[in-house]
Amino acid sequence: MARFETYQEYQRLGAEDYEEDSPPGEDLLVHVPEGLKDSWHHIKNLDNFFTRIYHFHQKNGFACMMLSEFFELVQFLFVVLFTTFLFNCVEYDVLFANKFINHTGSSHPERNKVTLPDAILPTEECTARIQKNGWIIFLLTMAAVFWVYRLVKVICNLLSYWEIRTFYIKALRIPTVELCNYSWQEVQARLILLQREQQMCIHKKELTELDIYHRILRFKNYMVAMVNKSLLPVHLSLPLLGDVIFFSQGLKYNFEMIFFWGPGSLFQNKWNLHPKYKRSGSRLELAQQLSRVVLLVGIANLLLCPFILVWQILYAFFSYTEVIKREPGSLGARRWSLFGRLYLRHFNELDHELQARLSRGYKPATKYMNSFTSPLLTVFAQNLAFFSGSILAVLIALTVYDEDVLTVQHILTAITVLGIVVTVCRSFIPDEYMVWCPEQLLQCVLAHIHYMPDHWKGNANKCETRDEMAQLFQYKAVR
Amino acid sequence: MARFETYQEYQRLGAEDYEEDSPPGEDLLVHVPEGLKDSWHHIKNLDNFFTRIYHFHQKNGFACMMLSEFFELVQFLFVVLFTTFLFNCVEYDVLFANKFINHTGSSHPERNKVTLPDAILPTEECTARIQKNGWIIFLLTMAAVFWVYRLVKVICNLLSYWEIRTFYIKALRIPTVELCNYSWQEVQARLILLQREQQMCIHKKELTELDIYHRILRFKNYMVAMVNKSLLPVHLSLPLLGDVIFFSQGLKYNFEMIFFWGPGSLFQNKWNLHPKYKRSGSRLELAQQLSRVVLLVGIANLLLCPFILVWQILYAFFSYTEVIKREPGSLGARRWSLFGRLYLRHFNELDHELQARLSRGYKPATKYMNSFTSPLLTVFAQNLAFFSGSILAVLIALTVYDEDVLTVQHILTAITVLGIVVTVCRSFIPDEYMVWCPEQLLQCVLAHIHYMPDHWKGNANKCETRDEMAQLFQYKAVR
Amino acid sequence: MARFETYQEYQRLGAEDYEEDSPPGEDLLVHVPEGLKDSWHHIKNLDNFFTRIYHFHQKNGFACMMLSEFFELVQFLFVVLFTTFLFNCVEYDVLFANKFINHTGSSHPERNKVTLPDAILPTEECTARIQKNGWIIFLLTMAAVFWVYRLVKVICNLLSYWEIRTFYIKALRIPTVELCNYSWQEVQARLILLQREQQMCIHKKELTELDIYHRILRFKNYMVAMVNKSLLPVHLSLPLLGDVIFFSQGLKYNFEMIFFWGPGSLFQNKWNLHPKYKRSGSRLELAQQLSRVVLLVGIANLLLCPFILVWQILYAFFSYTEVIKREPGSLGARRWSLFGRLYLRHFNELDHELQARLSRGYKPATKYMNSFTSPLLTVFAQNLAFFSGSILAVLIALTVYDEDVLTVQHILTAITVLGIVVTVCRSFIPDEYMVWCPEQLLQCVLAHIHYMPDHWKGNANKCETRDEMAQLFQYKAVR
């Protein structure tokens, strides 16, 4: 891992930013007569270029990237259309057997089974229903607009990553099928070698690893710094819950937009800080300007909120219902929170390096968090499990004796619901033979995550430590 | 862990017992004019007081203890009433579709679904049925008497633990919410400090950890000693099963009643041995007296036996049916037996210390026991699994092809039962790639349980060793 | 583990082969007047004798061996008869509710439930159906012939292992119940001691462990040598799949038949190489003779192919359908391939020694193989899981709301199939927090399997290494 987060380095980065506007001796270098006449000489937006090279490697090449972008489009379409279909084109009365279907002319007069097509409305009736409903048409239009916007973005990506693919094959000489055998370190080494042949970067003759890291991680480093200095308003003090941290994917997106790439952001050219932010005189004025931008973004968020909410509910329903049915225990699974990923990140640490570090800390962190149990919750869970389990036991016994019981209304629903209740309850009851050693577990976690507040030391068994850890290591379901 | 099980200590414990009857200089100490005038000065039954302080800490404070006692009362009520309800107020013919229900005046004449209320008898018919049955009324009365007795006990506990709660808050200065952050060691340290301020114990100026341990573990130490010297009749030689150990929860309760706290027990004041037991002259007479007590207790047990049995069957049915359905493999889970917990206990080892030690030994012990497999049983299990699996395969294939098969009578029952049979069978088939290293595993177990008969050494792979280990580490289902 | 695979040893083995034909001083030794007059003096086929002793120990004694052979016979019968029954004696129209059954004279006129006996044809109709179908009669006859052949073999085994059992009890003094407490090392030590008393082998006065290993492993060692020298045609170059290894149970059986014990094999007396194969002059002629044998065996295989195929399909259906339904993830389980077991075997390594070694390597090998994931497959799996999961989510929600939905045709089938699809897909999606450390894992594997091609070193993260490892560590489902 490359960690050179000294002050000098930052100075140098800042200094470089200036240079980029007026590369020293640009005229001297652009028209080099000798050397290879390739299209990767003097790349203007090196930040973006290196980032794309990194992503191309991390996301396993062109086919994978494009396929997943394509599927994202299809998923969006699917969710929208399937939901519309479910709300408008299914006759639930038939499905729930509240309405009698008569298959006249059936070959088996005695047998009158409902089939799926019986419950689906004919196309004309369906379209009529949709056309009548103004809201649905509005939502569908919104969705269509958004989809087209994403389609355009995907096509842009496709073109730009096709270029990266060519770069990998022609310049770095890594054929597509071999890509998975190369680590990022190896790709980077080839990149540095290549710079000597063809000057991708024209400000310097030689690229170092640090140069590449700096460019890929320019904005990430700012974010890490802001989180470490607690500059971002992510700590909230709620009346009942106490000190909580709110830092969702959406908030992060908004922060990045405001600071880095949105209209009115602090950066020009997408890679260097606007000079006016470096003069201390205009601070107040710029702060006001920024607060205006934040207000506008806030209003935009408020307006878009219902659509995003609906989308998130639909998407969560389609994604997680089945998981919760199959293994309700996964509700209790945890992941490193978005805040944790920034708080624990080193400066100049690439995504895959951070991920590897956090992955190694995942198991001990899970064990550490699981070794705490709320005794009161345990008592409730045990008793709820007993009562639900008792009723379930009777229903199971009756079912095994004669499965006609299942045809009684709501018995199957009861069995399913009680089963889930019992499983969830049991996940709250600690194992009888659990070994309690929080201090060692926290040491294990620390060995990988590297940062730890001082007051955790020697207090691994305290609830406060656990609660602070929980801010970094959230329930998956929360996000 | 505090282990001071030398002979001298025991002498001192005995000596102390005498002192308690006539504390030296009692008159001098009771009326101390200076010091705090608190209600925790000169506590009479210190054994009980320390034990309650220990339990209060181990069971996570007042709320948890009382809640679980309250729920125990509710569980008892629930089991009794739900069983009565199931036996008297449900019309099973309706549930099993042997009787036709006609919903006259139903809005859906074609649809005639049985609902749960259809199968429940009206209240008057139900009460009439119960009143007719003398047995049920007798059992319900018994249950009511027992329940009231337990209710009284719970109320006593509530009062006495409320006092302990006040003691924790006022004297030990541990607020309720902080309790979970204190280890027993810390609580005990505060207790010793407190003694210097307010003399809870008036026989000594200073309390040591050993004093507190001795008082909490007075009876436990006697039990451990009796098990270690094989004085309790728990080894049985059965004709077919060979040498087995029978030491159930009930037997333990009876032993404790006979020796420690029941009427006619060896202890007076609930904490010190009756002086007559210390004279060797009256041995024979006392033995006869004790044997009379044992006989009476035996007769009482015999009389109560049917009720206890019915209760245990009901409770087991309600608790475990669902578990067995969900994961039949849990039938093969093991736990440290009651006998093992006494056999492996050190003198002066508190419950949580023993539990921590056994928990650490749990995993290797499970592995050790699982690494033995009966080859004959394996052959049977493999073949039974094959035959059941074959029929199940056909049923599954038919069901997937057309789920109408499920409406054929007893097909669903067959699928459920066959599924459980196959799962149970598979749990008896050892893993193909199991690593067999009994010697290392037994060493691992030994590192935590500390005791091991000499003849186990070097014989970890022998069946005899495994069988003896199984006496300490029983099937959960057995208990 | 006994590893003496030096050249000298092989020389000695060859030398011994000669000796066996004319044991030195046979006349002197056979008629020893003194010593025990037991039936285990001068055993003719010592190879077979020692092998049987070994198998007797490994398969846990007479009862287990015979029971499993008996059950194999029963399984064969069961599969044949049950299949015949399913194809000829079940009226599927009744099961699938396509045909209406009228229980005239039923006590519940309103209730008309199909029972299993309704769907089974009466015996006479059933036999008539079978008698009409020539093919079935032919197949049943074939099966009967094969079954009788196996029955005879089982009876032979029974007699021969009864003798071994007597040998264990009388000569080795290991009673049946004690057998499981003896390791093979201990049995072998007794065998060597016994030789001093009663000369089982008359060529030598003293047996060594190596002698016994050589005899048990005579053919295995040849196979290991042929695989190590790549003499067997198991590497195939297929157009699309590249270099694959085909070495099935059947091929192995054929190889062994051709080389070791079939008619026309290279060995005479079942244990020593025919002298003519030791003369280099007749090489060409012998090769032609062998190729003729191979051709004949090939033709026999081709003729038997359909029967074997049908049997294998039936057996696989009966064995694995239920497993796949219960835990579809087991499709992705791996095992050491037959090729791997020969490639990784040391010379003079008994089955249980190899098995122990491979078992210890199983876990790291599984981890190593699982740490590779195809990114393209992952993308497909994720999206297929999303789409199937979405539909499943809707079906589950509808079912929980009103279980009448289940009576709609094919809904239950859809839920089952979608559930399996999702589970299979999820098994292809790597864990988010997987730690990627192929080099260490491969080192762990190597520590147990002992052999590794040179080009794996330092290339543990390459796909090629993984693919070659996969040849040794196959999917279970493939075999």
pLDDT tens per residue, range B441-455: 999 999 999 988 888
pLDDT of residue B197: 83
Using alpha carbons, list the distances in angstroms from residue C438 to A140, A177, B232: 48, 19, 57
- In this structure, what token pair is assigned to residue B335? 């736990």
Model confidence band, residue C78 (pLDDT cutoffs 50, 70, 90): very high
B462 vs C contacts (CB less than 8 Å)? 181
Average pLDDT (C23-50) is 60
Q: Which of A114-118, C342-346, C397-401 has the highest mean pLDDT?
A: C342-346
Look up the pTM and report it: 0.83
pLDDT of residue A38: 57
CA closest to C420 among chain A residues: A326
B411 vs C contacts (CB less than 8 Å)? 116
> In terms of DSSP bridges, do strands B272-273 and B267-268 run parallel, antiparallel, or are they unpaired?
antiparallel
pLDDT above 60 (res A245): yes
A320 vs C contacts (CB less than 8 Å)? 393
- Does A405 reach chain B within 8 Å, measured CB to CB? yes
Using alpha carbons, list the distances in angstroms from residue B63 to A49, A467, B151: 61, 21, 17
CA C320, CA A112: separation in Å to the nearest integer? Answer: 35
CB-based burial, C209-237: b 16+ in 10 Å, e otherwise: eebbbbbbbbbbbbbbeebeeeebebeee
CA closest to C418 among chain A residues: A322
C335 vs B contacts (CB less than 8 Å)? 432-433
pLDDT of residue B34: 41
A360 vs C contacts (CB less than 8 Å)? 435
From A15-29, A341-355, C332-346, the region with the lowest mean pLDDT:
A15-29
B382 vs C contacts (CB less than 8 Å)? 68, 71
B317/A398 touch (CB, cutoff 8 Å), yes or no: no
Candidates C93, C100, C394: best to mutate against A (most CBs of A within 10 A) is C394
Q: Residue C14's Cα: distance from chain center in Å?
A: 30
Which of C108, C359, C413 lies at the smallest CB-CB distance from B98? C108
From A298-302, B114-118, B212-216, the region with the lowest mean pLDDT:
B114-118
Model confidence band, residue B210 (pLDDT cutoffs 50, 70, 90): very high
A322/C380 touch (CB, cutoff 8 Å), yes or no: no
pLDDT of residue C267: 85
pLDDT above 50 (res C326): yes
pLDDT tens per residue, range C430-453: 888 888 889 999 999 999 998 888
pLDDT of residue A479: 54
- Does B112 reach chain C within 8 Å, measured CB to CB? no
Mean of the per-residue pLDDT values of chain A? 85
A411/C396 touch (CB, cutoff 8 Å), yes or no: no
Classify residue A185 by burial, with Cβ atoms within 10 Å: 0-12, 13-18, 19+: exposed
CA closest to B401 among chain C residues: C413
- Of A373, A335, A377, A334, the closest CA to residue A461 belongs to A373
B373 vs C contacts (CB less than 8 Å)? none
pLDDT above 90 (res C217): yes
pLDDT of residue B336: 93
CA C392, CA C404: separation in Å to the nearest integer? Answer: 16
Nearest-Cα distance to chain A for C247, in Å, is 28
Task: Output DSSP code: residue C204.
Answer: -
pLDDT of residue C100: 67
pLDDT of residue A149: 96
Backbone dihedral region of B273: left (phi > 0), alpha (psi from -120 to 50 degrees) or beta?
beta
User: Between residues 113 and 132 of chain A, which touch chain B (CB distance below 8 Å)?
Assistant: 113
CB C235 within 8 A of CB C229: no
The neighbours of chain B, by the rule of 3 or more Cβ pairs under 8 Å, are A, C
pLDDT of residue A169: 92
Model confidence band, residue B38 (pLDDT cutoffs 50, 70, 90): low
pLDDT above 50 (res A13): no
The neighbours of chain C, by the rule of 3 or more Cβ pairs under 8 Å, are A, B
- Does A234 reach chain C within 8 Å, measured CB to CB? no
User: Between residues 410 and 429 of chain B, which touch chain A (CB distance below 8 Å)?
Assistant: 410-413, 416-417
- Does B186 reach chain A within 8 Å, measured CB to CB? no
HSE at residue A292, side-chain half, CA atoms within 13 A, is 8
pLDDT of residue B101: 64
Q: What is the largest CA-CA distance in chain A?
A: 93
pLDDT above 60 (res C105): no
- Of A389, A350, A431, A63, the closest CA to residue A188 belongs to A350
pLDDT above 70 (res B182): yes
From B103-112, B198-207, C273-282, the region with the lowest mean pLDDT:
B103-112
Average pLDDT (A295-318) is 93
Model confidence band, residue B349 (pLDDT cutoffs 50, 70, 90): very high
pLDDT above 90 (res B344): yes
pLDDT of residue A17: 44
- In this structure, what token pair is assigned to residue B74? 């509710």
CB B292 within 8 A of CB B281: no
C78/B375 touch (CB, cutoff 8 Å), yes or no: no
B359/A435 touch (CB, cutoff 8 Å), yes or no: yes
CA A15, CA C474: separation in Å to the nearest integer? Answer: 57
- Does C67 reach chain B within 8 Å, measured CB to CB? yes
pLDDT above 90 (res A339): yes
pLDDT of residue B32: 40
Nearest-Cα distance to chain A for C171, in Å, is 48
pLDDT of residue A162: 94
Average pLDDT (A294-320) is 93
Average pLDDT (C445-464) is 88
Q: pLDDT over 90 for what percent of chain C?
A: 46
C116/B408 touch (CB, cutoff 8 Å), yes or no: yes
pLDDT above 80 (res B270): no
Q: Where are the beta strands (DSSP E) in B283-381?
A: 334-336
CB A262 within 8 A of CB A289: no
pLDDT tens per residue, range A30-88: 444 344 445 677 788 888 999 999 999 999 999 999 999 999 999 999 999 999 999 98
HSE at residue B72, side-chain half, CA atoms within 13 A, is 14
C402 vs A contacts (CB less than 8 Å)? 95-97, 413
pLDDT of residue B112: 61
**Phi and psi of A268, rounded to 5°?**
-110, 160
The neighbours of chain A, by the rule of 3 or more Cβ pairs under 8 Å, are B, C
Average pLDDT (B43-71) is 92
CB C425 within 8 A of CB C384: yes
Model confidence band, residue A101 (pLDDT cutoffs 50, 70, 90): low
pLDDT of residue C15: 41
pLDDT above 70 (res A8): no
Average pLDDT (B414-426) is 89
B390 vs C contacts (CB less than 8 Å)? 78-79, 82, 318-319
B269 vs C291, residue with greater confidence: C291
